[in-house]
Amino acid sequence: MDKKKIAVPLVCHGHSRPVVDLFYSPVTLDGFFLISASKDSSPMLRNGETGDWIGTFEGHKGAVWSVCLDTNALRAASGSADFTAKVWNALTGDILHSFEHKHIVRACAFSEDTRLLLTGGIEKVLRIYDLNHPEAPLREVDKSPGSVRTVSWMHSDQTLLSSCTDMGGVRLWDVRSGKIVQTLETKSPVTSAEVSQDGRYITTADGATVKFWDAGHFGLVKSYNMPCTVESASLEPKYGNKFIAGGEDMWVRVFDFHTGDETGMFSNVICGFAQ
């Protein structure tokens, strides 16, 4: 008599150290995805709707401070304390490019057209790499008032966003001139700043607060107090009715965008069954 097969849950463990960056991909034909960075050096890719684990990117030798996905969620990028920014094949986990820096890389972002990668870190320099010609000389913007914590693109890649580790505010840079044209003022240093997929909002995290700013007029739209110090926040791209935040307690929490109420959380999740 055949033995009855028993379904055993496969538990995909979450990060073993605090979550420091979260990023939602745009909505693709396969849905949308969430990538997370942690001081444990291993970025994780998850299903954006369920939080189920898909894969872990292995290759960094230090804490990973920043992660992002390109427009089609086919490539991932990460910035690390091992002085590198890496670009990954998001389907296989293979390293496509590894860009050496002179100090810790705290931030990275793909341009909207996915052709460029922007990085920043302890060196107080914003670097722009051409991914179609990775061997070509890079462009540098070296007037950041402090070490760079976050970077992002907006306005069809004509404007850069950045924040610093040791002072409040988000700075908007004109790409052509390399000059700061606007500052969003915050009391605490901003550890996360991104533009929503529909281009309407800039989402920031500073201290134990998540804020949403009008991306056109730069006024403050919403501000929510979080249950702990938050390192990163990201607005859900499909409906824009919820956002996630993660930080020192190692949980990724889900909140209602309109009310700020917490609606769920995930860390260790069951992602499938073995027969």
CATH number of the structural domain spanning residue 116: 2.130.10.10
What percent of the chain shows pLDDT beyond 90? 75
What is the per-residue pLDDT for 15?
64
What is the per-residue pLDDT for 252?
82
In a domain? residue 172: no
What is the tens place of the pLDDT at every residue in 56-97? 999 999 999 999 999 999 999 999 999 999 999 999 999 999
In a domain? residue 39: yes
SS3 at position 102: coil
Cβ within 8 Å of residue 114, ≥6 positions away: 70, 71, 72, 75, 131
What is the per-residue pLDDT for 129?
98
Residue 39 — pLDDT band, cuts 50, 70, 90?
A: confident
Q: Average per-residue pLDDT in the chain?
A: 88
Cβ within 8 Å of residue 259, ≥6 positions away: none
Q: Among 15-24, 76-85, 100-109, 160-169, whose mean pLDDT is lowest?
A: 15-24
Q: What is the pTM of this model?
A: 0.85
CB-count exposure of residue 207 (10 Å: 0-12, 13-18, 19+): middle
- Assess whether pLDDT exceeds 60 at residue 241: yes
Domain count of the fold of the chain = 1
SS3 at position 115: coil
Give Cα separations from 150 to 50, 121, 123, 190, 262 (angstroms). Answer: 26, 8, 13, 8, 25
In a domain? residue 113: yes
In a domain? residue 110: yes
Nearest to 228 by CA among 199, 257, 265, 272: 265
In a domain? residue 186: no
In a domain? residue 265: no
SS3 at position 93: coil
- Assess whether pLDDT exceeds 60 at residue 9: no
What is the dihedral angle through the alpha carbons of 47, 52, 58, 61, rounded to the nearest 10 degrees?
Answer: 100
- Assess whether pLDDT exceeds 50 at residue 196: yes
Measured between alpha carbons, how far is 179 from 93 in angstroms, rounded to an integer?
36
Residue 270 — pLDDT band, cuts 50, 70, 90?
A: very low
In a domain? residue 270: no
DSSP state of 28: B
In a domain? residue 23: yes
147 phi, psi to nearest 5 deg? -65, 140
- Average pLDDT on 174-194 reads 94
Show the domain range for 37: 13-143
- Average pLDDT on 190-210 reads 94
